[in-house]
Chain A
Amino acid sequence: MAARGTGPGEGAGLADRRLIVVTGKGGVGKSALTSVLGHSLAARGRRTLLLEVDPRENLHQLLDVPPSGGEIVPVADRLYLQNLKPQDVVDWVVRKQVKLEMLVKRVLGSPIYHRFVEGAPGLKEMAILGHALRVVRGETPKAPPVDTVILDAPATGHGVYLLTASRLFADTIGHGPFAEMAREVADFVSDPSATGIVVVTLAEEMPVQEALELRGSLEDRFGRGPSLLVANGIYPEVPSDPRGSEEMLRLWSRRRQVNASELERLFSQWAGPKVELPLLPIDRGPRLIRELQARFDAALDGLEGTSP
């Protein structure tokens, strides 16, 4: 199976999606890939919002803008960034339901409500995706029109939970506005034409193991794997006449060998669209994102070439 789509840049069909969830093990470069994908889609004409849920903001550093502070802020043409507090979305649902301002304050201020939000399984996860859904549907009054939301999701274990929690939540509570929202989100996430999942990994044992397990649980629960697999931070091949000390060459060839054998293991079990990105000698920041984007775009266009 190769890439879907027909126009340029529609490798892996990502340019058609309304929501793209970027996930993978901790430390593999999810935020960098989120930034790269955002710039890439915006350059292809999609109005794109990057959604970050880590309370300690860091995407803005990669995008060269001030921190979002919870608002939707412009990054570049057609590209926006927001750091979302799930609690704010939950509060919004309550506000919509409870028309009386006095009562709203009492509900939102009560410790029981806060414990409920902490303890209700799947509520926050549902709220994050519910927000993304509202943004792409143009239902948020202050937001600019957006075609695609890219979510920089939590690390793998939590990532699967993020995607499955809404169904769980809808089933647990049955009915009411939260349940309705949860069901809408669950349907949206299960629809392969609406939601794409991008799995990022390093070509090392543990991240590859997690990427394969993640693919397995996605297939179990959604009947489909990721839309795209990105192998990040690949060491270059060792040329036949390399220069450098023996020690350095040994390390280089061993690291490259680990990459090569892990990529082989990964791709022997994954026939879908994939992109490999090199380890680059550039500090983490906007310049790294630009360099990676050039390579990512080329790879995505290459994917297009392979489609029937």
Chain B
Amino acid sequence: MTRPLDLSSETHPLLIVVGSGGVGKTTLAASMGIVSAAAGIDTLVMTFDPSLRLKDALGVGHAAEDDEIEVPLPASADGRPPGVLRASLLDAGKTFDRLVARYAPDDGSRERILSNRYYRHMAGHLGGILEYMAVERLYEVAAEGRYQRIILDTPPTSQAIDFLEAPQRIVDFLDSGALKIALRPWFDDGGGLKATSSLGFVGRGLERFLDRIVGMNLLRDMSEFFRAFEPMFGGFRQRAEKVEGLLGSPDTLFSLVTGPGESRIPDTLFFARRLAESGYRLGPILVNRVHPTFDDQGAVESAGEGQGGIDTDDGGALFRWLGESHHRGLGQLRSLMPDGQQVVDLPLEADEPTDLVALRGMGERLQRRLTERP
């Protein structure tokens, strides 16, 4: 059984915040980081593309793209000395470039890779590369051991599941037969296909065929890229496996952030099941921005079929409906989750947090909900 998440204790040194785009992962990750550091735990929050508001709140600008920037913590109420809080922004392209720079055997091959057309187009767009680079960075920082806790805010995928599949996709890619074939010296000095030139007339036919279908330029670029990359493959593959191992380590806890409403439930269930199947540990599911219900509303009038036109100006009816439908979705999600799965609902707040104090308030409310006895 996975220990429940407690941001103020030193359990769970790696916390990975996942969820679909637009559910508020980044803000929650930042608020968790503050609570963690405020409890005396040295914490790094790694994040992708936070909003301007959040960047301002954390006080991190472009500098955080290359470095980890120290976030000044608001004073603690209980007088406990706070830990260090740092934030860094992740950029997939830069992380990939940095890997190439580190693992390339010499300057020549580094330059060949970085300037290769295929690499430049692929580096940002190969399926899952952004997600993979996030874990890759996590691995790098975790291995350095400078922090007691790292909170990774994952890239905004359309589905949370994309993130989990990324390392395996990279390993598959590295293992694929295509790679072995691509590593053959395909082209002779004249730029023609080696394999086909030995076939004489037939070979030239094949070359024309390939050229017609995909164009030799692309093949040449791809082949060049793979050849330049070859000396790095071994290390890269090993790393991808270690990265995968890190995701499955008992130290690593996933927290799934989702939005309220029934339409989100299938995604959430799917993700929870996939995590379990992969042997990963799912911590709390955070249902974010749940519309509160208000006591004095009286009976909820359903805006169901049969009713006449909808009065879009009737805020009261809208808020009743939102509160009711969000809580209905929440109830359904809870009933569908296995016993012992923590599902924490976080209410939609009147104001978005715009500074560290507000973020900390948000984190503390979350921490109370996480640690309260059911």
Contacts and interface: CB of A to CB of B under 8 A. Distances in A.
17 contacts: A27-B21, A54-B158, A111-B177, A115-B179, A116-B178, A120-B214, A122-B125, A173-B215, A173-B218, A175-B211, A178-B215, A242-B316, A243-B316, A244-B297, A245-B297, A248-B319, A281-B322
Given A118-B127, A247-B294, A155 B156 contact: yes
B122 A119 contact: yes
A137 interface: no
A241 B296 CA distance: 17
Contact of A258 (B21, B325, B352): B352
Interface string B330-374: 000000000000000000101110000000000000000000000
B315 interface: yes
A209 interface: yes
A278 B221 CA distance: 50
A110 to B, nearest CB: 8
Contacts of A13: none
Given A172-B218, A177-B213, A279-B318, A121 B303 contact: no
Nearest to A158: B158
Q: How large is the interface on A (under 10, 10 to 19, 20 to 34, 35 or more residues)?
A: 35 or more
A168 B121 contact: yes
A112 B213 CA distance: 14
B205 interface: no
Interface of B: 20-23, 51-53, 117-118, 121-122, 125-127, 156, 158-159, 173, 176-179, 181, 211-218, 221-222, 259, 261-263, 292, 294-297, 303, 305, 310, 312-322, 325, 348, 350-352
B214 A112 contact: no
Given A27-B22, A121-B122, A250-B350, A281 B215 contact: no
B313 A111 contact: no
Given A94-B213, A283-B325, A154 B158 contact: yes
Contacts of A98: 213
B interface majority secondary structure: helix
B207 to A, nearest CB: 12
Contacts of A56: 159
Interface string A231-247: 00001111100111101
A65 interface: no
A134 interface: no
A11 interface: no
Given A243-B316, A278-B312, A111 B321 contact: no
Contacts of B23: 27
Interface of A: 25-28, 54, 56, 94, 97-98, 111-112, 114-116, 118-122, 154-155, 161, 168, 172-179, 205-207, 209, 235-239, 242-245, 247-248, 250-252, 254-255, 258, 278-284, 287, 291, 295
A244 B296 contact: yes
A161 B125 CA distance: 9
A245 B296 contact: yes
Nearest to A285: B263
B215 A174 contact: yes
Contacts of A54: 158
Given A155-B156, A236-B318, A250-B350, A121 B121 contact: yes
B330 to A, nearest CB: 15
B217 A254 contact: no
Contacts of B262: 283-284
Given A121-B122, A252-B315, A281-B310, A26 B178 contact: no
B308 to A, nearest CB: 12
Contact of B21 (A115, A155, A251, A255): A155
A191 B317 CA distance: 45
Contacts of A238: 315
Contacts of B158: 26, 54, 154-155
Given A154-B158, A280-B312, A115 B173 contact: yes
A176 B211 CA distance: 7
